[in-house]
Structure 1
Amino acid sequence: MIEESVLLESRTLRSGVLERTDVLDRVKALSLLPDGLHVTTAMVAAYFEVAETVVNNLLSRHRHELQSNGMRVLRDSELRNFKKLNLSSYGRPQPRSALAIWSRRAVLNVAMLLRDSEVARQVRVYLLDMEHLARTQPVDNPGLTEPVPLDVRIDQRITHILGRTVVPMFNALIASSGEHRRELIELREDIENVERRMCRHHERLATPEGENPAENVGSTLKAMTWQAFEQHVAGLLRRDGCTDVVVRQTRSDRGIDITGLTADGRTVAVRCRNRSGRRTVPHADLQKFAGAARVLHRVDLALFVATCGFSHESRAIADLTGVVTVDREEVEAWTAGVRLKALR
């Protein structure tokens, strides 16, 4: 197993574990600003129980690495808007010409650079313990006791490549193409159909004989509490490449249950609604969430994920405000392994 001190010296090793930002909360609760995505330098220092000057000195030595992982310095109008939305509840903010804000990924980066902090050391140890367990598990499927056959591993790798590489490549080509746009869209749809079929095939292989995979997924979702469903959706976001995923686990945050960043850096806010039976999401819920996500927090991507359908009024509001609705059928496909289109 790698010694935790090695992380202090190797940027390559640090880069390999930066997705595990959940480790921060396992060691100690990390308080976030109202946007649910960032902390200030003072908050970073408080988390690691060091002086703010220690964090600033670390920033001066490793600025490029920290910036690549979500540390930003705000100035001028961007700083004024950020203060208005996030710092008003902290009293009257002190006048300043610049403000450094840190993503959870950047805070984890600090934990792997900060030598004189017991909290940082605990994060490194916990992080490497988790990484060691992940690497030594023969199969990431508790339902199988034997190694996954080679052809299944190849199929899984193909599915991963289709979802993470080929489809995004077609998205980029479509965005920049004029003459062959229609042909490219048709090819992309064919590839997405292949990806969906392979995901369903994997689901059938993992389901005991005689059971219906779709019914199995549906019953599993139906049995979840609202807290479990939020954690489930957060796990799907992480699986599809999102970082800094935070589950708020509260009913008093204007309808936003999860925040994070997509793989390409867009801010995302998610509302989860676990409703059984034939009930649909009422339009009032859409209005509340759209206002919080689009007006208050100004996120790039707003997702309303539900285990039921959406009323006509709800879909009309979603279309008007740019909220992406994910209904029961889409949640089941997402759970089975199909990557959500909005995250591509």
Structure 2
Amino acid sequence: MINESALLESKTLRDSVLDRTNVLDRVKALSLLPDGMHVTTAMVATYFGVTTEALRALVHDHRAELETSGYRVLAGTELSDFKQLSGIQSRTRSLALFSRRAVLNVAMLLRDSETARQVRVYLLDMECLARAQPAEHTASTDSASLDARIDQRITHILGKTVVPMFNALIETSREDRRELIALRAGVQRIERRLHQHHARLKRLEGLRDDRPAIGVMAAMDSMNGRSFEQHVARLLRRDGCTNVVVQGGHGDRGVDVIGLTPGERRLVVQCKRFAPYLTIGSPDMQKFIGAAKVLYRAEVAIYVATCPFTPEALHIAAEAGITAVHRGLLEEWSTGEPLHVLE
């Protein structure tokens, strides 16, 4: 069996296993930025348990290889656009970003990290297992892998190109808004089915990974209250809501976001970015009901939280017609699942 240190010395060997990025989450949970695709230098250093200075030194020594794997530095307009789209708060003039492939590449170059060593051992175990499979099985696996890559490519195009195109059209169109929203919903259903199909393929191939998609929630946990309200507002606009205004803060009268649903119903939202071990209780829910129904006369009222609701709070919300978006539902909404109360 190849020793894990061989990855430190052989770029050819490193290149041969760069697609196995799933090992990162199998060894240790890797938090992602809100775009679900990148991490910063500090986040990579935390994952591997090293200093940012050590990581920057490694990047300096292997920059060309890491750039091939997806490492890049944003500045100027590109950085401004990325901040706006991802919702991150940073005053730096440049921002280094690592893709998951680049993080895996770091694991194969970083000597003084136990996490990196575990990743290398795991990679070579998988490679040894793959080489031990019969030729027939390898051929069928290659075919399934090709199908899976095609599915993932289609899903990426739908999620990153087609759906944003519909979002832009919905925001600017008046006459065809309902038809565009219906078409976007159809595209999102196809995208979800492809995701489900890919998950079934992974289970059938024995590549189990039961971890949740932690990147989105980890990003929200790192937001401040205002950033979280802006994130919820972006989700509302994505789903066709109009006149969306973030008014959270002093004097908001118990409501953080207001707007109109795609069907022109009055909408109010309360946003609570609490630690996941806390809960939203019945007093909080009762206060929101009073603000939503009495002060704002809302037709649609949503309480969004990064933590669970108590059973009593959920019971009160159901009786009053309030939609309670708990942590799990918030993750689904943030990753593309539409919020049905808005339809």
* TM-score, with structure 2 as normaliser: 0.46
| Structure with bigger gyration radius | 2
